[in-house]
Structure formats: structure tokens, C-alpha cells
A and B are shown apart, each in its own frame.
Chain A
């Protein structure tokens, strides 16, 4: 299936955001005046540094020697054969240092912090993967690190909380609101407003006010660039579709962005269907929400009839977010990308299946993308190819799985 966009339309999409941070009607900068100066400064620093060879060289070196890139493109032959449809490939972001794609972004942003002379770093985290990736990079660069994490997530991701502490970070449980990722993001913005002189805010997903969605996308796009080259080499052509899970949307946009102008490649984002999109207990704003304004940008959100942000549910903490990056909102409306939702149960099934068929234990977030890939592969021919972004490994989820299995240690 070729996307209905013309070549020119696809080109125009990949030229976004515009100077004010808009992706079509989405994105922008809906923040209080107290943050405007900091965001302007960040935009200017990034525009200046991104074309500086020394800065880019330092990122490339860190990605190679510290993160372990390039990450392999792996053919999941046994799983594919069992499904009996398309060939499924995994882009192995789970093999990155710290175990997920998140580190691609923290390497980039922490170097921005270093180059702009900010000794203190703050971050928000849901599953704890971004917090761990931030704490890791800060340890290496000698930056102070404070991570905000919803109190509910602190409990369900206890292992990652301890990892961050071992790395020397301070983890602050956030007790306000729903005590999850969205509230951690609120608290990080509050900290930043008050400490803007010495503090760099490393936002963990492709959301938030401009320039964050652009910044995070640019740093994560290494995923799609490598995948594109590896596909040509290993498959001999581009894949028929690329598939990624969508929380805030950073691993997905990193995979999608380099493929936007390849109109023959379907791009499919998989949100968390939770207990079922029909039950209202989910985290699938693109599938079942509507446009609104949250965390400094216009995008699809989940809200009640009064415009209050809704409670979300997902078995995976990293997808448990009522908004989504604004570029995805525009990719959806423009028809270039498709978005679907996978519920808790099939995601858990996919987690077990891939673990036992391939010896690769995926993160619960990733398991949502795997579950959809299986559905789609079944409808395709064996000479067709799907790439799933294996956004992270499942070690962090072992306690959650054990609890589901009724095992306590």
C-alpha cells in the first residue's frame, strides 16, 4: 500500500516543524511566560550547535563507544515462521547501553547541557528508562541529576528507581494529580522555571513545548537512518512497514522520520489499548482522543468533557501518558502514518511469545508493537518485510510479570 500523499506533500512533511515549532496545526509553544526565555535559549543553542562538526562528532563518538551503536537489524526467523506471514525484523534498540532507545536522546541533550554550561540536569520519567538513561549520561559527564517520577511509577518500577540512585541521581516521587508520567512532567517544568539559570531540562519524549519535539526527534532519528541502510543491505530493499510503540512518541518518531519521504513504506504507531479502548481505560490519544493543549503543545490528548486531562491506564508505565508528540498528530491527520491500539492482554502474550521463540525479552512497551506486528504479518506474504522497533529490553518488567504470574521473591 502506497500512502496517498504526493512526493511534494511528503517532502513538505519532513521539512517540519516551522520556525515557531508547528507541525501543521499541532505543536507550538503553550507555556507560561516564565519559560519562554529558556526555550528560546535552548532553540538558539541547538540551532548553533547542530551544525558544529565538533558537537556532532562528540555525539557520534558517544553513540558508538558508549551506547554501542549501530544497533543490529535482526531477522526474527523462528517467530516469523511460526506466524506464517511476513518476515519480521527487530531493530535492536534493546541492546543499547541502559537497555532502551532513550539513551540516544539523553546523549544528545546532555551534550547540549554541557556545551551550554548548565551543571544541573532534571528529567521526568515514567517507566524509569529515560530516568536511567539521563542518570547514566550525567554520571559520565559529572552533571548533577534530579529525576521526577510519579509516585505510582516509583512503586511499579522499583528496580529502575534503585538503578538511578546507584548512578548518583536524586529521584523525587511526585504525589500530585494521577501520580504518573504526566505529573512528573509538570513537576519537572516547575523545577525548571525556578532554576532556569543553572539547570538543563532533558525531556524524555518527543512532546512538550517547541523545540523539544524537534530536538528529541532529531536525536532519535539515528534509529530510522540505520534501519533504512540496514534494510537495503539485508533485505535488499526498504521494508513494507515500520512499526513502533507510541507513548510520548520518541522511539516511533525516531524510526519513522527518515522514512517519511519513502511513500511505499507504511508507518504504524501502536498505542496502549489498556483494558480496551471501549472501556475508556487506556492510553491511546491518537486512536481515541481529540486535539487539545497539554504540556506546552497542541496534540491529541485524552480528556473529560470539561477539558480536564483524563486518567490513563496501561500495563506498561512507559506508555501510560494522555498525550503524544505533536508530529505524530500531524502524521496521523495528514494520512502519512497509521495509529492503532493494542490492549494489555495481547501485549503480555506477545512478550511471552517473543521471549520464548527468539530468546529476546522485550520491554512491555515494545510488546505492544510486537503484538500488532504479529496481527499484521499474518495478513501478509512471506516475501514481505516488517521492521519492529525493539525499543527496549524487558529486564525492568520482570517484577511486573512475576506479580501477574503470582510470584513474589
Chain B
């Protein structure tokens, strides 16, 4: 069993919900990120989604676009992201890490080279936003051999036949995008999400994690009622933007937000 599946099934068995923060690797510079990851784990994060910057992030709103621009300005690339993961792994070999990004930088590095290097650094899963299940063959051989999970997205607009094929392709968890839109947008409709998640759960046993639009502890707790966990992204990234000139303060500030959301999720309503 992969580190991701192990972690999520342990949580499920104990009735707890997964809290998964998303941050952009190298934002505002690669030196900050390792300490930030440790601070998030200490505050109660279960799995980490680590963003790899791309020049053309067409599925992201302004907040995460700007984070990518800051990271690229600080010369972040795949090698430096993998360096961050390897450093993190020196003192934490329990927390699963999923790399999240776009296909082209990975393709440029070369799929076998990238997969080998990511696995060696301690990466557990891969979520490439513009690699749909139909294109999984690009990485399949290497990920399967190395035991690295490929995580896929489902959206509010995904039709049933496709949901079934996504559920059977995804590994570790299924990332349910809770709203129509890009990262950082819109208001979350918890009831609507609950209906959809219940439907997905009737199709598959794979853990369902909900992301997009979740900002508060209260929302996280509500979503936790129906799903296996939540992903918090834009709120964290916006806080990092505000502290871009004071990177030393980022780990504790982000840690405090994670702790607040963790507390809300673990407290019965």
C-alpha cells in the first residue's frame, strides 16, 4: 500500500478527516519551503500537495498564478522542488507528498527521468492538472514500477460514465473539485458538494478529497462530514503573498491557519 493510501485508510479507520494543504514550492523562494512543510505537519496536516510552478497555469486563479510567478522569479524548477522534498524527507518519512503541476515542465525533463528522480526524493503521488486519465500512459509504466500514485480530478460537470473511469484510474485519492471555476474562485455550496460526494462514494471506495473554495475551519468541518478530507490552497497562498517580503514569518503564520482549521475539523459541531 502506498504511503498515501496507508495514511488515508488509517484516518478513515479512526474516523478522522484528512487535512491537505496546497502550497507552491519555491514561493517566495525555495529556502522557505522545507521549514514551511514541517510547520504544516506539526500543525496537523496529513498529506501535502506541493505545487510546481508553470508559466501558463490556465486552471489557476490570480492568487496561485502570482505564487507561481514568485517561485519562477526565484529560479524554482523541478530540480529545486525535488530538492525540497528530499530535504523534508530527512526528518519526516511519514507524511505523504503529492506533486501538483502542469505537464510541460515534466515532459521537458523526460517522463522516466522525472519519475525516477521524484521517487528517489520521496514523492508519493503526482497530480498533473492537464494530464487527463486518457493520457496517463505517459507516466504509467514508470509510476507503476516505482509505486508512485497518479491522482486525478473529478469536477461538478463530470458525467457518470466518466466518473467511473476516473475513479478507477485515480490512485491514493480522488480529488473532487468542488466548484465550477478556477482555484481561488467562487462561493462554496456545501449541500451541493455533499450530494455529489455521496454520489461519487456510491461508485467507488477510493477516498474522496474535496478542494477549491474551502477557506474556513467551519467549511472544512462541513465538508468533512461527507468526504474523506479537504484541500486548502488559495487561502494559504494568499497569506504567503501578504508575507512575501517577510518569508521568515511564513511557516508560523501558515502553521497557525492549519492549526485553526484542524481544530475546527476535529471538534464536533
Q: What residues make up the interface of A, taking CB atoms closer than 8 Å to B?
A: 20, 28-34, 36-38, 176-177, 182-183, 185-186, 189-190, 193-197, 292-296, 301, 303, 305-309
Q: Number of B residues contacting the other chain (C-beta, 8 Å)?
A: 43
B153 touches A306 (CB 8 A): no
Given contacts A186-B56, A293-B130, contact A33 B104 (CB under 8 A): no
Bound CA–CA A20/B54 (angstroms): 26
Contact status A177-B55, CB under 8 Å: yes
CA distance A210 to B243 in the complex (A): 41
Contact A194 to B185, CB < 8 A, known contacts A33-B177, A309-B104: yes
CB of B78 closer than 8 Å to a CB of A: yes
Q: Within the assembled complex, what's the spacing in Å between the Cα atoms of A196 and B156?
A: 11
Are A36 and B162 within 8 A (Cβ)? yes
- Write out the residue numbers on chain A whose beta carbons fall within 8 Å of the beta carbon of B158: 33, 36-37
**B72 on the interface (CB 8 Å rule)?**
yes
Least Cβ–Cβ distance between A295 and chain B, in angstroms = 7
Say whether B182 contacts A193, CB under 8 Å: yes
Report 6 cross-chain contacts, Cβ distance below 8 Å, ordered by A residue. A32-B130, A34-B59, A36-B157, A186-B57, A306-B108, A307-B108
Q: Is the CB–CB distance between A196 and B157 below 8 Å?
A: yes
Across the interface, do B65 and A176 meet the contact criterion of CB distance under 8 Å?
Answer: yes
Give the docked Cα–Cα distance between A195 and B104 (Å): 26
Asked if A194 contacts B177 (CB within 8 A), the reply is no
In the complex, which residues of chain B have a beta carbon less than 8 angstroms from the beta carbon of A185?
Answer: 58
Q: Which one of B61, B103, B186 contacts A190 once the chains associate, using CB atoms below 8 Å?
A: B61
Given contacts A34-B155, A37-B157, A176-B65, contact A309 B55 (CB under 8 A): yes
Residue interface bits B201-223, CB-to-A below 8 A is 1, else 0: 00000000000000000000000
Give 6 closest A-B pairs by Cβ, nearest first.
Answer: A307-B108, A307-B105, A37-B157, A194-B181, A33-B153, A32-B59
A182 CB contact (under 8 Å) in B56, B60, B109 = B56
Q: Which B residues lie at the A interface, using CB under 8 A?
A: 54-62, 65, 69, 72, 77-78, 102-109, 129-132, 134-135, 152-155, 157-159, 162, 166, 177, 180-182, 185-186
Q: Tell me, in angstroms, the Cα distance from A37 to B109 when the chains sit together.
A: 30
Is the CB–CB distance between A37 and B155 below 8 Å? Answer: yes
Given A193-B181, A194-B186, A293-B103, are A32 and B153 neighbors across the interface (CB < 8 Å)? yes
CB–CB A33/B155 < 8 A: yes
Contact A308 B180 (CB under 8 A): no
* Bound-complex Cα distance A33 to B179 (A): 12
Chain A residues near B131: list those with CB within 8 A: 30
Residues of chain A lying within 8 A (CB to CB) of residue B109: 307
Q: Quick check: A303 and B108 within 8 Å, CB to CB?
A: yes
B103 with A34: CB separation less than 8 A: no
B11 → chain A closest CB, angstroms: 24
B129 to chain A, nearest CB (A): 5
Instruction: Pick the most buried of A37, A295, A307: most chain B CB atoms within 10 A of its CB.
Output: A307
B135–A28 contact, CB under 8 A? yes
In the complex, which residues of chain B have a beta carbon less than 8 angstroms from the beta carbon of A183? 56
A34 in complex: contacting residue of B78, B152, B153, CB < 8 Å: B153
Q: Which residues of A contact B107 (CB under 8 A)?
A: 292-293, 307
| B182 near A190: Cβ-Cβ < 8 Å | yes
Which residues of chain A come closer than 8 Å to B177, judged between CB atoms? 33-34
Min C-beta distance of B134 to chain A, whole Å = 7
A186 nearest CB neighbor, chain B only:
B58
A294 to B105 alpha-carbon distance, docked (Å): 10
- Residue numbers in A under 8 Å from B129 (CB-CB): 32
B130 touches A30 (CB 8 A): yes
Closest to B79 in A: A306
Residues of A within 8 A of B103 (CB): 30, 293
Least CB distance from B39 to A in Å reads: 28
In the assembly, what is the distance between CA of A74 and CA of B103, in Å? 45
Cβ of B178 to closest chain A Cβ, rounded Å:
11
Minimum distance in angstroms from A195 CB to a CB of chain B: 8
**A294-B154 Cα distance, complex, nearest whole Å:** 21
Instruction: List A contacts of B162 (CB < 8 A).
Output: 36
* Cα-based distance from A308 to B77 in the complex (angstroms): 9
Whether the Cβ atoms of A193 and B59 lie closer than 8 Å is: yes
A20 to B134, CA, bound (A): 10
A294 vs B131: C-alpha distance when bound (angstroms): 12
* B181 partner residues in chain A, CB cutoff 8 A: 34, 193-194
Q: Which residues of B contact A30 (CB under 8 A)?
A: 103, 130-132, 135
